[in-house]
């Protein structure tokens, strides 16, 4: 399995997870809301819209857990994000099917979904590497994740 030592050459894993959690949180919040003219259970399209929104809400909770985990270093919180991001990744095709009858934006959605899938896979690998790092870190009593570092060592 892939184990990254850093998010990128100049950013440690915990900071990369923090930045990615904020980016994913913002992207999920900027998602288009459920149209007001669609009732929630009248058609397959409406059900798919509702499933997509529920998946986004669950993914937002996973992003919040990754945000907190980047500060406290708890592997359980990273595991929550890994699980919700798998569900979110599986729901990408459902998101496209829900918007399939709108031909003007379908190609834009396809391109954005492919880019989001590639970015999501990279974030998942970074979070998995951070999860493994958190499992290996052993903190002593009254020690936090940042008490071992000086400012120059973090950046």
* Mean pLDDT rounded to a whole number for the chain: 77
Highest mean pLDDT among 1-15, 27-41, 90-104: 1-15
Residue 98 predicted with pLDDT over 70: no
Beta bridge partners of 11: 8
Q: Residue 68 domain-assigned?
A: yes
Instruction: Collect all residues with Cβ–Cβ distance below 8 Å to 4 and sequence separation of at least 6.
Output: 13, 125, 126, 129
Q: Residue 130 domain-assigned?
A: yes
Q: Report yes or no: 118 and 66 within 8 Å, Cβ to Cβ.
A: no
Please give the tally of structural domains in the chain: 1
Sign of CA dihedral 20, 23, 29, 33: negative
Q: Residue 4 domain-assigned?
A: no
| Cβ neighbours of 52 (radius 10 Å) | 22
Residue 61 structural domain: 13-30+38-139
Q: Residue 144 domain-assigned?
A: no
């Amino acid at each position: 399995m892939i184990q990254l030592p850093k998010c990128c050459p100049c950013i440690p894993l915990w900071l990369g997870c923090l930045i990615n959690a904020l980016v994913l949180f913002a992207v999920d919040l900027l998602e288009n809301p459920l149209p007001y003219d669609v009732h929630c259970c009248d058609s397959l399209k409406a059900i798919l819209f509702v499933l997509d929104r529920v998946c986004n809400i669950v993914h937002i909770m996973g992003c919040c857990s990754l945000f907190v985990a980047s500060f406290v270093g708890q592997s359980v919180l990273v595991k929550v994000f890994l699980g919700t991001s798998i569900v979110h990744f599986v729901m990408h095709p459902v998101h496209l099917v829900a918007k399939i009858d709108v031909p003007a934006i379908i190609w834009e959605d396809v391109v954005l979904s492919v880019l989001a899938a590639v970015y999501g896979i990279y974030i998942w690998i970074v979070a998995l590497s951070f999860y493994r790092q958190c499992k290996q870190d052993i903190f002593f009593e009254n020690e936090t994740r940042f008490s071992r570092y000086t400012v120059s060592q973090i950046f």
